[in-house]
């Protein structure tokens, strides 16, 4: 009998009002049922919003360090259970054990970082126009936040939204991706073990359409923080704009890495392979286009193809596995469909190009690490996000063309260059249209103290995640005049 998970509303585990449930299965072995979760309804979402509204005044009334202590305790508990959490994360999402461990450690650090912010959320003391007057600005919580997250970092993305939201005094309704509800349930349980009062963080599990609409159109929601695809984010933004609800969107990418003619090619291959195939290519910052200067394109492509073919694909918990499965049947179908689209557009498949056959692969959603050559900017495969282990090589005559190709997409999340030429590096940093630019590093990976977010269709752009930006999003500014005469 697999474990049953429920919604968590007003401090209680509750079934969905629909009475319906769905199964969660291991993407590396679909015979393994990991749990049963509710198929929640708009009514459940409304109940969760009601609970968050009710809990808000008391939670907001605590001192910031009192709230920070809950996050500190959550960090300490999580740090003592890294291996168990990593195994659970791999079973549900598919990434390798080491990738999961990194995500858990990152989540511990995020809790600690935002717990520390409790002592630092300040405002500005300003000179007043009249004598004996205090004039200052203070940051106050926004209210009730709806937090909607994707499946690819099923712990750390929720943590990097929920931790700052809570520490500054907001209450939350959390809707995780349907593919990874178990990590979400574990996270909510962890925070309550750490002392979070009931009603402050409420979990509703279920399909995005029904729940998402109920959340983002409810007038009791004061802020919406969404990470996911452009299509869903764009539609959501129109609904929150109609109500003028504070909204933050982080969305997809078609991230480029330029390999300059002077680059150390071994290093370049390592960087691109890690950024392209790490996490099964299922990172918003994954490199999906590698733009190589003509003098080295042949040599780079040969070495990169060999590196892709050498990667060991398999269940993320098995020893030595370097790349796990796609998260779901639907995502694998998307990956394979894009490879076919690319073939149809005339690209050459140099490595991979399909699903591996039989054996350990028969019951999972595996996709081969795939290298495509001959991409041109007008092709769909050069423009649309695949979100799988598919990397296309593009050739550039010189650095000017490489930069133009890098920028030739509607997305602008992360962009990289591999070069030893400082001049080229600086020109790239100045010219790249991306929220994060990396010189001699892969496009994936971000520091928690640094602003995280994209340009163009990769993000709504007004706010940033992590660092100070997260606190800015989850607070509003109150200006105070106190006349002491
Ligand atoms: P998605 O399909 O857009 O879903 C994201 C979240 O939105 C899920 O919780 C989903 O629920 C929910 N949702 C679906 N329809 C909704 C609606 N009508 N209203 C409100 N919410 C709705 O994205 P995904 O497949 O989970 O994640 C992959 C995408 O996320 C990629 O495009 C990737 O680049 C992007 N991503 C971006 C970042 C970043 O920081 N820029 C980070 C990670 C991932 P269901 O799961 O129930 O459909």
Q: With b meaning 16 or more CB within 10 Å and e meaning fewer, what string describes 345-375?
A: bebebbbbbebbeeeebebbbbbbbbbbbbb
Q: Which two tokens stand for residue 465?
A: 């995640």
Q: Taking a C-beta distance cutoff of 8 angstroms, is the pair 167, 68 a contact?
A: yes
Query: pTM of the predicted model, to two decimals?
Result: 0.98
The rounded distance, in Å, linking the Cα atoms of 213 and 211 is 6
The CA-based dihedral angle spanning residues 367, 371, 376, 378, taken in that order and rounded to the nearest 10 degrees: 10
Question: How high is the pLDDT of residue 111?
Answer: 98
The rounded distance, in Å, linking the Cα atoms of 482 and 485 is 9
Q: With b meaning 16 or more CB within 10 Å and e meaning fewer, what string describes 57-89?
A: eebbebebeebbbbbbbbbeebbeebeebbebb
Map 241-252 to HEC letters: HHCCCEEEEECC
**So which residues are the catalytic ones?**
284
> Pairing relation of β-strands 201-203 and 171-175?
parallel
Question: How high is the pLDDT of residue 358?
Answer: 80
Q: How many other C-beta atoms lie within 10 A of the C-beta of residue 298?
A: 11
Take atom 16 of ligand 1 and give the residue whose Cα is closest: 208
Question: How high is the pLDDT of residue 360?
Answer: 76
Ligand 1 atom showing the smallest separation from residue 413 Cα: 41
Q: Torsion-angle region of residue 281: left (phi > 0), alpha (psi -120 to 50) or beta?
A: left
Ligand 1 atom showing the smallest separation from residue 233 Cα: 3
Take atom 13 of ligand 1 and give the residue whose Cα is closest: 208
Task: From 152, 208, 338, give the residue whose CB has the most ligand 1 atoms within 8 Å, as the site to mutate.
Answer: 208
Question: How high is the pLDDT of residue 175?
Answer: 98
Question: How high is the pLDDT of residue 361?
Answer: 86
Question: How high is the pLDDT of residue 1?
Answer: 58
Look at the chain and count its residues: 485
Question: How high is the pLDDT of residue 267?
Answer: 98
Per-residue pLDDT of the chain (485 residues; tens, 9 = 90+): 579 999 999 999 999 999 999 999 999 999 999 999 999 999 999 999 999 999 999 999 999 999 999 999 999 999 999 999 999 999 999 999 999 999 999 999 999 999 999 999 989 999 999 999 999 999 999 999 999 999 999 999 999 999 999 999 999 999 999 999 999 999 999 999 999 999 999 999 999 998 999 999 999 999 999 999 999 999 999 999 999 999 999 999 999 999 999 999 999 999 999 999 999 999 999 999 999 999 999 999 999 999 999 999 999 999 999 999 999 999 999 999 999 999 999 999 999 999 998 877 889 999 999 999 999 999 999 999 999 999 999 999 999 999 999 999 999 999 999 999 999 999 999 999 999 999 999 999 999 999 999 999 999 988 999 999 999 999 999 999 999 98
Binding pocket residue ranges, ligand 1, CB within 6 Å: 148-152, 175-178, 207-209, 212-213, 216, 227-229, 232, 236, 250-253, 284, 385, 387, 413, 454, 458
What's the sign of the alpha-carbon dihedral 37, 42, 43, 45? positive
Question: How high is the pLDDT of residue 485?
Answer: 87
Quick one: angle between helices 156-167 and 181-193, nearest 10? 40
Task: From 49, 110, 232, 242, give the residue whose CB has the most ligand 1 atoms within 8 Å, as the site to mutate.
Answer: 232
Q: Taking a C-beta distance cutoff of 8 angstroms, is the pair 102, 85 a contact?
A: no
What's the sign of the alpha-carbon dihedral 270, 276, 452, 161? negative
Tell me the β-bridge partners of 171: 144
């Amino acid at each position: 009998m697999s474990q049953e998970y429920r919604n968590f509303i007003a401090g209680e585990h509750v079934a969905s009002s629909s009475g319906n449930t769905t199964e969660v299965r291991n993407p590396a072995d679909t015979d393994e049922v990991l749990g049963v979760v509710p198929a929640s309804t708009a009514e459940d979402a409304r109940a969760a919003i009601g609970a968050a509204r009710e809990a808000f005044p008391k939670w907001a009334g605590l001192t910031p360090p009192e709230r920070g202590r809950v996050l500190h305790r959550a960090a300490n508990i999580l740090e003592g259970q890294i291996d168990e959490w990593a195994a659970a994360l791999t079973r549900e999402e598919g990434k390798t054990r080491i990738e999961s461990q990194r995500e858990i450690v990152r989540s511990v650090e995020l809790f600690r970082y935002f717990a520390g912010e409790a002592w630092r959320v300040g405002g500005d003391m300003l000179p007043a126009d009249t004598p004996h007057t205090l004039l200052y600005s203070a940051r106050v919580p926004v209210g009730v936040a709806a937090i909607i997250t994707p499946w690819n970092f099923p712990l750390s993305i929720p943590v990097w939204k929920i931790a700052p939201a809570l520490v500054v005094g907001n209450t939350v309704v959390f809707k995780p991706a349907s593919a990874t509800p178990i990590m979400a349930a574990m996270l909510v349980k962890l925070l309550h073990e750490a002392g979070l009062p009931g009603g402050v963080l409420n979990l509703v599990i279920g399909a995005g359409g029904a729940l998402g609409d109920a959340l983002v159109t409810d007038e009791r929601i004061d802020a919406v923080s969404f990470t996911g695809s452009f299509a869903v984010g764009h539609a959501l933004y129109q609904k929150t704009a109609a109500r003028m609800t504070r909204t933050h969107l982080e969305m997809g990418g078609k991230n480029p890495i330029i390999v300059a003619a002077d680059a150390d090619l071994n290093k370049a291959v390592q960087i691109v392979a890690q950024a392209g195939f790490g996490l099964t290519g299922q990172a918003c910052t994954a490199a999906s286009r590698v733009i190589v200067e003509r003098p080295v394109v042949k040599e780079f492509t040969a070495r990169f193809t060999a590196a892709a073919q050498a990667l060991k694909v398999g269940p993320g918990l098995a020893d030595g596995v370097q790349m796990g499965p796609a998260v779901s049947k639907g995502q694998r179908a998307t990956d394979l469909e894009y490879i076919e689209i690319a073939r149809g557009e005339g690209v050459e498949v140099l490595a991979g190009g399909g699903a591996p056959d039989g054996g350990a692969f028969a019951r999972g959603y595996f996709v081969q690490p795939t290298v495509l050559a001959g991409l041109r900017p007008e092709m769909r495969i050069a423009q649309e996000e695949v979100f799988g282990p598919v990397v296309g090589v593009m050739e550039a005559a010189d650095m000017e063309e490489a930069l133009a190709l890098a920028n030739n997409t509607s997305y602008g999340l992360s962009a990289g260059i591999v070069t030893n030429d400082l001049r080229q590096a600086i020109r790239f940093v100045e010219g790249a249209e991306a929220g994060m630019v990396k010189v001699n590093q892969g496009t994936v990976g971000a520091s928690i103290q640094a602003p995280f977010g994209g340009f163009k269709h990769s993000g709504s752009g007004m706010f940033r995640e992590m660092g100070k930006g997260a606190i800015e999003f989850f607070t509003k500014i109150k200006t105070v005049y106190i006349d002491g005469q």
